[in-house]
Chain A
């Protein structure tokens, strides 16, 4: 049973460029959350997708956007990249169990390391 998979594992971009990161959730999971983890810090919540809609959003600018597909996989897009966007981007999935929030924990992928030059 595959866990959460993310691609690519590493990415190098330059300032001003755009990037798309991809995530496939664990089998049976329908909710995907994205986090940014700067070096030496804890993850910061970017947003969460459920039923192909953004349901919650953290304190990130509109340059950060996402999408969820009918198969529950998700993309994170970042436009106009800044040096400060260099970080490990983590995807987490969990099962929502319909309209109600499940108390099941989130499962994380290994992340995409994004470096901005």
Chain B
């Protein structure tokens, strides 16, 4: 079945460091891929998305490229801030339905 695997956290970085959070997936078709962010005490917010191979999603300095050959959708940011501290979830959705399949989440801690 479909699944999403994320790198385990927590990931702890200093402010202005480069961020990569790995995400790989298995799917039978050609899913859409998403990164959601959950700040402490809040609900899930869509961060970025990509709907087909080689698409690059970007938002708030974060980027992720849909790599079909490696079935990956790694999240990157060139210079993180303390305010980026949150839990990041990678998710996929088959184009034939609405159900989102989620990774376990990666907690990101940015120290000043």
Contact = CB atoms under 8 A, between A and B. Distances in A.
A26 B32 CA distance: 21
Given A103-B32, A105-B49, A41 B104 contact: yes
Contacts, number: 60
A94 B51 contact: no
Contacts of A58: 99
B100 A106 contact: yes
Given A42-B89, A108-B44, A108-B45, A56 B99 contact: yes
Given A42-B89, A94-B98, A103-B95, A110 B43 contact: yes
Contacts of A110: 42-43
A68 interface: no
B73 interface: no
A99 B42 CA distance: 32
Contacts of A106: 46, 98, 100
Interface size class of B (residues with CB under 8 A): 20 to 34
A101 B96 contact: yes
A56 B42 contact: no
A29 to B, nearest CB: 11
A67 interface: no
A56 B51 CA distance: 21
B105 A107 contact: no
B43 A31 contact: no
A56 B43 contact: no
Nearest to A43: B102
Contacts of B43: 4, 90, 108-111
Contacts of B95: 101, 103
Contacts of A43: 44, 89, 100, 102
